[in-house]
Each structure stands twice: as C-alpha cells, then as structure tokens.
Chains A and B, each alone.
Chain A
Amino acid sequence: MGRRAFIGLVVGGTAGTLLTPIPWKLTDDASIWSQNWPWIPRVPNGDFELKPSLSKLDNSGVGVNVVTVKGRPCAVYGNPEHPLSRGGISSLAVNEAELLYSPSRVQSPLKREGDSLIPISWDDAKALLAEKLKAAGSDVACVSGDDTGSGTDVFSAFVAAAGSKLCFYMPAEQVDAGRAWQRLGGQGMVGYDIENADMVLAIGADIFESWGTHVRNAQAFNKANPMGGEQAMRVVYASPIKNRGAAVADAWVPVLPGSEAALALGIAYHLIQGGATSGGPGFEAFRSAVRSGYSPEKVQQATGLTPEQVADLAKRLASAKRPLVIAGSSFGQGGGQNAVAAGLALNLLLGRLNKAGGIYALPEAPAVVQGSMPRRQILANDFVDYMLKVGAEQTKAPAVLLAYEANPAYALPQTELMAQALDKVGFLVSFSSFMDETAAMADLVLPTPLVMERTEDMYTPYGSGWVNYTVATPVIAPVFDAVPAADVLLQVASGLGHNLGFESFEDVVKAKAEALNAMGGFAAGAKAEPWKVRVGGGAPSSSGVSDAVQAGKAWVSMATVNASGLSLAKAAAGQAAAPAGGEFPLVLAPLFELNVGSSKVAIPPHNVSTIRDTEAANGHFFVRMNSATASKYGTGQGKQVTIASKTGSIKARVSIDEGVMDGVVAAPLGFGHTAWDKFAQNKGDNVSKVLTVASEPGVAAPFWAGSMVKIA
C-alpha cells in the first residue's frame, strides 16, 4: 500500500466514521453514563405511603408518619394529627428511618469472649441469659432509659419476680420531677397545660430543646405567636446561657445552673410579699422557709440577679392572666427536686392548679403486667446513688444488670467512676439497638428493634398537659436479627418459672389499651385538640383506646387525679447560697442540644453537618465562655484548655460566647463518644465526665447541676 492509499484510508475512514451514528451515539451515551455510574445508588421508583409510628429517640414523644416506598421506610415526618407533634419534629427524630441502617446497629446477639464480642444465635443468647439469671437469683437489677413504654413494666415485673427491688430509671428530668411532685404530696404525675398559658416562665428548663414534650412546647409557642399576628403567649427564659430557646424568648434572665430553685423561691418571696397565698396546706411553713432562706439578698448571691430583676419576674407573673412556671435542670438531668418543687410552688401560689394554662395532676398508667413496680416505687430508687455505692464498695454489685434502652457507661455523671462501677457488675446485659458504650462493655448484647420495627407504646411523656397514649405497630420487619427486649424477657421469665401474665409484648400493649378505657377519652386529631377540650371547646365523642391507637392516633384523656394532698410544706428546702468557689471557681453549664444526640442516641450520620465549626471541628469540641471569664482565666478564642472537676477532666477548645454568664463554662453534652461509629467518634470529649455528684440540700439525693470546675 502506498502512502497516498494510506492517507486516503485514514482520512476516508475518519470522515466515514463521522457519518455513521457511532461517534454521536458514544458522545450521547457519555452524558448518560456520567449520570448513572453503577456505584452510585439509585433511588426507588414508585408511590409512597405514610404509615403512622412513634419516635422515642428523644423525650418529645412525637407521633410520626413514616414515608415508605414498596414497604421500605425512607423518611419520617411529624404527624400533623398527633398532639405532641402537630407536624413538628426534632432534629433527632427526623433521622428515624436512616437510623435503621446506622453503622452502629447491633446486627445479632453478641457474647463477650475476652476482649471481644462475638455473634451468637438467639437461642444461645437466651439460654445464656437464663443461665446467668437463674444463677443470680434475686441478685439482679435493671436500669431503663424509657419511662413511658410498657417495656419497662415487663423489666420491673421480671426483677420483682426474681425477688429484687432494684429497678431504676436512668437519670432524667422526669425522674427528678416525679420525685418532687411526690414530695409535695402529689398523686399521679404532673402535667403542664402550656397551650393555654399566656405567659411561660421557664426556669432552667430548656422547654424548646430538652425539657419534656419539647416539640409540642415549641408548637404551642408557634401557634400562640403567629407571624405578624397577635402575640398570645410570652416566654421568659431563665438559663445560664442564652441558649436556643432563650434566643426566641421575649426575655432572657441569666441564672446560674443549680440555682434555679433559689430563683423560683426568690420570686415566691416577692409574690408572698405581694399577698399571694396558695390557700392550701403547708403555706405557713413555706412562707417562713422562703422568708428565712430566700431573702432577696441571699437569692442575689445564689443567682447573680438583683432583687429588682427578681421582683420584675414576680410582677410579670402576677400581671399575666394565665401564667405558667416550668422549672427544671437546664440540661435535662441532675437538677434535683428542689428546682421542680419550687417551680410547682410558684404555680400553686399563682393559683394555677387545675386551671387552663396551669398544672394538672394526671393519673399514672394502669399496671397490667403482673407484679410490675408502680412508677413511684421505681422513682424511689436512684441509679446514680446506687452506682456510687457500688463503686465505693458500700453495696455489692449485682450479679446481673439488665440495661434496657439505657447507656449508663456514657450518660451518667462522673462517667469514668461510673464505668468502673459498671465493671464490677457480674454480668452486664445490654438490650440495645446500637453498639453504644454500654453495649461495648457488656457481657451480652441483645439487639432490640427500633420503634419502627416493633410494637411500642408511649403513655403520657413528662410535660404533657393531658393523658395520652400512642401505640406504634411495626412499619417494617427488623432489618437485622433483633427481637423486642420485652419479648425476650417474657420468654426467659417463663423458662425460669416467673409468671408475668403475658406471652408477648403485643399482648401487654393490648391489655394496657384495654385498661386505659376506664379513663374515658378520645382519639386526638386536627379537629380534636386536647388543649381546646381542656378549656371546654368541642369535646369530641369518646372512643375506645384500641380503636384509636390501632388507627395510629394518639388517644387522649382529660382525666385528672385528686390533688388535694398537695402541700407546700416541703417546697422550700435548704437555703439560697452562692456557689462554693475555692479550688474549682467556675460553674459548669452543660448544654443539651438534640442535634448531637441524647443520652440514648449518639450523633446520627445526617446530623453531623448541623454541627458548626465553632462547636466541634478536627476532633476537638468547644466549650463556651464570655470574654470576661476567658481573660480572667488567661484563655481565649480557639485556645486549648482542660476543664477539670473533682471527678474528672475533659479536653476542649475555647469558643468565646457572650451569651454565657460571668464565671460560667458552658459545654455541650453528646460529644466524646468512644463506641458507636465514625459519625459520632472523634468529636470532642464527654462532658458527663466532669459532672460532679453532690447531695442536694434538704433532699439528700444525688444532684449535679451546678458542678464546679476549673481550667487546668
């Protein structure tokens, strides 16, 4: 072939190819390929359905609608028909579907062997559990992170059947509140009718983020503050840091953590001076205790607020038509009983008992599981106190500890000491959906399905102004080899010869629904709103609990219990006192922000991007203090510090935040996870380590709000 022929071939070939569809097809295909690479997952086709469920990742108790496509959950929305959601949802609960496939999920039962956990079958797991429980006899304890579900009833009944009284709740706001309510002589549980209040004074309690039914609280605020419309509710936040709730409140009152009771009783002082009385038992004792222990001067020392500021709060309350005081810990735990009791006392002084926009005494859930411990009995046990004694070897560690939806190895104060105490437990069993810190150190890990994968119920979460009951039925079969904890326990119980009266948890829930019928109530919805019914508006016809909850609705009852036993006699314990300085001069204000998880759930994958780089970055997290405090202690923006208390220390960097009170270090909880997954790990330190347990004045129960620290 000659050169000409060759050139002709090449040129002709090129021209010829260009005339065929080949290059154009390839070019066109390139755009399709570049959109559809096989390693990028496709989204499902098909119509979606909404199935009602429930989120228990936080305390809000929101009913949710699960978006499913071909039966597969892919998102959750707040259920607009559910009175605790009204369509709203927390930054944690909104992850519920994605968490089904969290990298942290426990995928099968695991047994400890040396330093590692190895997968075993459910049969072997149950046999091992039965064997250990049998050997332990009555030397068994349980701790539950859930106080609204019947699952805890099964656990308490089991422990009781074994002959033990050691059933505990994990420390939480509602635990302290329940005890405070009892201390004042209250029956049942206290409810707050936030929707009907025209002024809410939140003392400590972070009502839009962590306290009680926070989504519902936020919705109440939302509806009473329509954009551009008439304001029907004012909110005043008293907290050590201008936190998220304080950012939208009508006023913010800085108050030291741990001095919430002093502020409430300081307000009570002014109200009493103005002639307020509860008209009920114990008032005289209360008045003299307030006058002697909570004079404006003492309150100023304890809270840092001037008498005028406190008097102004009293005036605002007195001049409101339907004021409501909500007191609690600013980080949802460890605040003790005094703050809640003092807040309740204010409501009584303001005449807010059983009044629209006030507080109500709500009945407890009926007991259905044979031998289950009533709530008040569990409240009488204190897990922190117990573990401290175990740690100090004043009490023998239990042979078996059952941890149900609880992560004590991470979430208890003085975490490191508590972990050592947990280590002393003979056989630690973790019933958990996730490989959390407790599961990681357990001897047996039994995976529980997420709420979306099981039957679960919820009775009147703390804060709700009315009785409510919601049942979730499985939206999807467990995606991993998980079995509901209560079912496991019921089976093991019958093997051990304990009769708890039920074969399955589903039957427990059915029985509970039946038992609740006696209270009389209705299925809540957009046209049957409990807060409207509370003030006499359009009472819907009553309906059976089963029908309501089967339809995925919240069943609501206006039932109350007798509150005549309430007395103010014990509402003002102790004396207002300034924080003890000395070696640890700074007050620690932990922050509970739900986007970084709760005591049960670590930072979910999709929440990582909600963390600002001024909150956590490059492995470390930030504690916040104002510039005056920072310069006083020789630190500043971005500087590395060690925050130390009597019981531990954490490493952090400093972020200057002028919304923090003088002499206070604010530090977010939820960081410093050592178990879980790459989304939760390598982010800062666990503030619980430096929380220091003290004895609450006048109560002598564990108390760790107002922990004192230093910058080391």
Chain B
Amino acid sequence: MSVQREFHTKWGMVIDLDKCTGCGACMVACQVENNIAPTPDASDMTRVLTWMLVYKLENKQKFPNYDVAYLPRPCMQCENPSCVPVCPVVATTKDEEGGIVSQIYPRCIGCRYCMAACPYHVRYFNWFDPQWPAGMEKTLTPFSSTRPRGVVEKCHFCHHRFMAAKEKARATGGEPMKLAEDAYIPACVEACPTGALIFGNLKDPTHQVAKLSHSKNAKRLLERLGGKPQVYYMSKRQWVLDMLDNDLGDGSHGGVTGGGNHG
C-alpha cells in the first residue's frame, strides 16, 4: 500500500539542462526568500543547507571532447514520495491539492528517517541553531518561519507564493484552483537569468510544463525507483539524459522497483 494520491492540480517544474549556466542565482534567491541562514564555510557540503542545489555533470571525456551540464535540484515533490510514509509523526505530508510535499517544522522530531529515505538529498537537517550576522536578521522575509536546530527542512516550491496566488485569485474573482501559468512561480524560477526553469500545473494543458513534460527530451531523475518526481529535466544531449538514471549500460534492464509497500 502506498500513500499516493491523485490531485487535480500538480505543481511541477521543467528544467532545461541545455539552458542552465550554473550561475547559482536560483540557490541564493531561494536562501533569501526562505530565510536560510548563511554559512561562513561550505567546505563540508554535507552540512550545508541548500534547498536548491546546482550539481555539475560531466561527460567524462577528455579535452576537447569534454562536455558539462549543470543540474539545479529542488525538491522533486514526488508523486510517490519515499520520505512521507516513513515519517513517524506526520511532520511531512503530501495531502494538499497541488501535490507539494510539505514539512511541518513544529511537528518534526528530528529523527531524520525522511533524509535517509530520500535519494535526492533534498532534505536538510538543522545541525545547529541558525545564526545570522548581527543585524541581518532584520532582513528576514515574512514568507517562511525560521527553523530551530533539530528539525528537517526542505524545498516546498515556495508554498507561500501558492497561498498568496490563491488569495489574490479569490480577491479578484478568479479561480484559486485554476491559477494562470504566471500567477504562481517559486523564487528560483523567477530569478533564473537564462530561463532554465519553468513552473506550472502538470495537469493543465494550457501550462507549458504539461506539454514539455511529455517531450521526448524530458526525463525525471531516478525514474526507475518509482518516486515519480514532479520535476522534469530536459536536454537534447543524450549523455546528459543518461546521467539522470542508473542504467546497467545496455538499457535492457528496464522496469521500475516497487515502491512504498508498507502502511
């Protein structure tokens, strides 16, 4: 039994790996928007909080046949998340229309089981209390509450913007559950100078993401594992697409693992 549910609205992202320069604007925009405290030293990246993280992909060829691609990794907001069913205290859910995997900080007990379950490393733990340089706490945004140490946090597609867009739609007589394509986009998508990220409702055919997610150049990360991410990656480069999933090399071992059989 899995906890998978269908929604009328399924927010999703399509990221064009042929357009991402890896500049990092999305990462910084995310940190600012969501009140992630800065870190003086990022030598140990396994301790740093980056809801959005840009990976560097290389084709393993030597100069001059070398090629590189950058892969921005927000939370995949899986349709069948591996993290949600494992949480012992319902601190992370996927039960709201829109299909965003939430994280309820005041509920989280910090067991980190969800982090172990997620292969994308989108979940981050507050190893220490967050610290802002003196005064910088005055620039905290009203969008995302601060998190104490000991809880897990993650990308939520700037959920506050979803709420705001719905509210605006209600106030202006629109349909909150049928938002237009540009009514709600996360901070990372908005900041990207090359437009490598686009956002929308994967179930609304008028939204670009709905069309692009079916493109032959679109693929999800670790599709075989059965998490069914709501983030799609696009590239015209075959080696880049090949990097998105494990493959024994000959492509003959198709199939998807089961996924979520407890509960």
A interface residue numbers (CB < 8 A to B): 31-32, 34-35, 37, 39-46, 48, 67, 69, 72-78, 87-91, 94-95, 97-98, 100-103, 208-209, 214-215, 218-219, 221-223, 225, 227-228, 242, 244-245, 247-248, 254, 479, 593-595, 604-614, 616-619, 626-628, 658-662, 677-679, 682
Contacts and interface: CB of A to CB of B under 8 A. Distances in A.
Contacts of B4: none
Contacts of A616: 43
B251 interface: no
A91 B133 contact: no
A594 B23 contact: yes
A608 B196 CA distance: 22
Interface string B50-66: 10001010100111101
A91 B24 contact: yes
Interface string B5-37: 000000000101011111111011101110110
B190 interface: yes
B63 A89 contact: no
Interface string B62-99: 11101111100000000000000000000000000000
Nearest to A85: B193
A597 B32 CA distance: 17
Given A90-B25, A95-B28, A97-B139, 7 more contacts: A77-B191, A98-B38, A101-B134, A209-B23, A222-B195, A247-B22, A604-B28
Interface in B180-237: 187, 190-196, 198, 208, 211-212, 215, 217, 234
B23 A609 contact: no
B140 interface: yes
B25 A222 contact: no
A613 B66 contact: no
Contact of B193 (A90, A97, A242): A90
Contact residues on B (Cβ < 8 Å of other chain), bracket: 35 or more
Contact of A218 (B63, B140, B148, B194): B194
Contact of A677 (B33, B48, B133): B133
Contacts of A42: 140, 146
Contacts of A223: 195
Contact of A678 (B21, B40, B105): B40
Contact of A37 (B23, B148, B198): B148
B173 interface: no
Nearest to B15: A227
A97 B32 contact: yes
B49 interface: yes
A37 B129 contact: yes
A297 B45 CA distance: 47
21 contacts: A42-B140, A43-B142, A77-B187, A78-B191, A88-B191, A90-B25, A94-B191, A98-B38, A208-B194, A221-B194, A225-B19, A228-B211, A247-B70, A248-B18, A479-B135, A479-B138, A608-B40, A609-B27, A610-B54, A661-B64, A679-B133
A239 to B, nearest CB: 12
A659 B24 contact: no
B201 to A, nearest CB: 16
Given A101-B135, A247-B21, A677-B133, A69 B141 contact: yes
Given A218-B21, A608-B41, A87 B190 contact: yes
Contact of A89 (B25, B54, B212): B25
A605 B139 contact: no
Contacts of B68: 242, 247, 659
B106 interface: yes
B171 interface: no
Contact of B134 (A69, A103, A628): A103
Contacts of B67: 242, 247
A35 B105 CA distance: 8
Contact of A39 (B18, B48, B129): B129
B213 to A, nearest CB: 10
Given A91-B28, A228-B234, A608-B41, A69 B195 contact: no
Nearest to B55: A612
A100 B70 CA distance: 31
B119 interface: no
B144 interface: yes
Nearest to A93: B25
A101 B134 CA distance: 7
A44 B21 contact: no
Contacts of B58: 658
A43 B105 CA distance: 14
Contacts of A245: 21
Nearest to A77: B190
Contacts of A88: 25, 191-195
Contacts of B194: 88, 208, 218-219, 221-222, 248
Most chain B beta-carbon contacts within 10 A, residue among A94, A221, A618: A94
Interface of B: 14, 16, 18-25, 27-29, 31-33, 35-36, 38-45, 48-50, 54, 56, 58, 61-64, 66-70, 105-106, 129-130, 132-148, 150, 187, 190-196, 198, 208, 211-212, 215, 217, 234
Given A43-B142, A227-B198, A35 B63 contact: no
A604 B38 CA distance: 9
Contacts of A618: 43
Nearest to B14: A227
B111 to A, nearest CB: 14
Determine which residue in B147, B195, B211 has the highest number of CB atoms from chain A within 10 A of its CB, and name it.
B195
A41 B190 CA distance: 27
Nearest to B20: A248
Contacts of B215: 228
B66 A659 contact: yes
A479 to B, nearest CB: 7
Contacts of A662: 63
Contacts of B33: 75
Given A73-B139, A228-B212, A626-B62, A607 B133 contact: no
Contact of B29 (A44, A89, A101, A227): A89
Nearest to A681: B40
Given A223-B195, A618-B43, A46 B20 contact: no
B212 A43 contact: no
Contacts of B143: 43
A227 B19 contact: yes
B23 A74 contact: no
Contacts of A46: 142
Contacts of A607: 24, 28
Contact of B137 (A31, A41, A215): A41
Given A45-B142, A88-B191, A609-B48, A628 B136 contact: no
B191 A658 contact: no
B139 to A, nearest CB: 5
B24 A610 contact: yes
A289 B97 CA distance: 69
Contacts of B137: 41
A557 B19 CA distance: 30
B25 A605 contact: no
Given A37-B129, A101-B139, A479-B135, A661 B63 contact: yes
Contacts of B145: 43
A208 B56 CA distance: 17
A627 B43 CA distance: 24
A89 B193 contact: yes
B22 A244 contact: yes
Contacts of A90: 23, 25, 193
A91 B66 contact: no
Contacts of B193: 78, 88-90, 208, 214-215, 218-219, 222
B242 to A, nearest CB: 17
Which of B19, B132, B133, B193 has most A Cβ within 10 Å? B193
Given A244-B70, A605-B136, A658-B66, A227 B142 contact: no
Scoring A74, A248, A607 by chain B CB atoms within 10 A of each residue's CB, the highest score goes to A248
Contacts of B48: 609
A696 B80 CA distance: 61
Given A89-B191, A626-B62, A658-B66, A98 B136 contact: yes
